[in-house]
Amino acid sequence: MSTYTVLADVNEDEFQNAQELVSIWGEIREDIERLGGDLLDSYALIGGYDFLLTFEVEEEDAAMQIAMAIERHGLDTQTMRAMSIDRMGELVDDI
């Protein structure tokens, strides 16, 4: 499985208050699972982005579908493939 990280910003025009924003997380988790992913972690952030989500999927197409599904909930996202530092070390050793 491949791991993906999503940095998300709230589109303030979509939400009236924090409670409304919190209510979408169950729907986001359901979308990720429906599209073949496994939500690993989710965090609220202080700084340039509002939230960080990490999920695993088998195929890149599913990662793209998940990113689009998250955006439909009123979040602006940047999705990136992530690799563990241990795996990166293995690749460097092979060079």
Please check whether residue 72 is in contact with residue 1, taking contact to mean a CB–CB distance below 8 angstroms: no
Q: Is 13 or 37 the better-scoring residue by pLDDT?
A: 37
Q: What is the CATH number of the domain that holds 9?
A: 3.30.70.60
Q: Does residue 5 surpass a pLDDT of 70? A: yes
Query: What is the structure's pLDDT at 17?
Result: 66
Q: Is 50 or 88 the better-scoring residue by pLDDT?
A: 50
Helix (H) or strand (E) holding 86: helix 85-93
**Segment 79-84 mean pLDDT:** 92
Q: How many CA atoms lie within 13 A of 78 on its CB side?
A: 6
pLDDT grade for 93, boundaries at 50, 70 and 90: confident
Domain containing residue 36: 2-93
**Segment 25-47 mean pLDDT:** 94
pLDDT grade for 16, boundaries at 50, 70 and 90: low
Q: What is the number of other CB atoms lying within 10 angstroms of the CB of residue 56?
A: 17
List pLDDT tens digits, range 46-75: 999 989 999 999 999 999 999 999 999 889
Give the CA dihedral 36, 33, 35, 29, nearest 10 degrees.
-140
Number of domains the chain contains? 1
Residue position matching structure tokens 């092979």: 94
